[in-house]
Amino acid sequence: MGFWQNVLKIVQDYWPNLLMACRTTLLVSLLGTACGFLIGLLIGGLRAIRLDFTASKASRILKRIFDAFAGLYITIFRGTPMMVQAVFIYYALLNIIHWSNIQAAVFVISVNTGAYMAEIIRSGIQAVDNGQIEAARSLGMSNAQTLKEVVLPQAIRNAFPAIGNELIVNIKDSSVLMIISISELMFSARSIAGTTFRFTEVYFIEACIYLFLTSVAALLLNWVEKRVNGSGLSLPQSDTDPTNMKLSRTAEQKGGNRDYDARQHS
Give the residue, chosen from 138, 237, 243, 264, that forms a contact with another protein under the rule CB under 8 A. Answer: 138
The gap from C-alpha 181 to its chain's centroid, in whole angstroms, comes to 21
DSSP code for 184: S
* Candidate list 4, 19, 61, 153; residue touching another protein; CB under 8 A: 153
Cβ-based nearer residue to another protein, 6 or 145: 145
126 class by beta-carbon count within 10 Å (0-12 exposed, 13-18 middle, 19+ buried): middle
CB atoms within 10 A of CB 13: 13
Residue 174 burial (CB count, 10 A): 29
The answer to whether 141 contacts another protein (rule: CB under 8 A) is: yes
Stretch that binds another protein, among 43-51, 139-147, 191-199, 249-257 (CB under 8 A): 139-147
Could you give the CA distance from residue 115 to residue 257 in angstroms, rounded to a whole number? 14
Question: How far apart, in Å, are the Cα atoms of 246 and each of 13, 143, 144, 169, 204?
Answer: 33, 36, 35, 8, 20
Rounded CA-CA distance 50/151 in Å is 12
Contact letters for another protein, residues 37-76 (x by CB under 8 A): ----------------xx----------------------
134 binds another protein per the rule CB under 8 A: yes
Please tell me the distance from the alpha carbon of residue 8 to that of residue 196, in angstroms, as a whole number: 13
145 binds another protein (CB under 8 A): yes
Nearer to another protein, 132 or 200 (CB): 132
- What is the Cα gyration radius of the chain? 21
CB of 87 or CB of 141, closer to another protein: 141
Q: Contact with another protein (CB under 8 A): which of 86, 104, 136, 218? A: 136
Binding mask 87-126 for another protein (x = CB under 8 A): ----------------------------------------
Residues that bind another protein (CB under 8 A): 53-54, 129, 131-132, 134-142, 145, 149-150, 153-154, 157, 230-231, 233
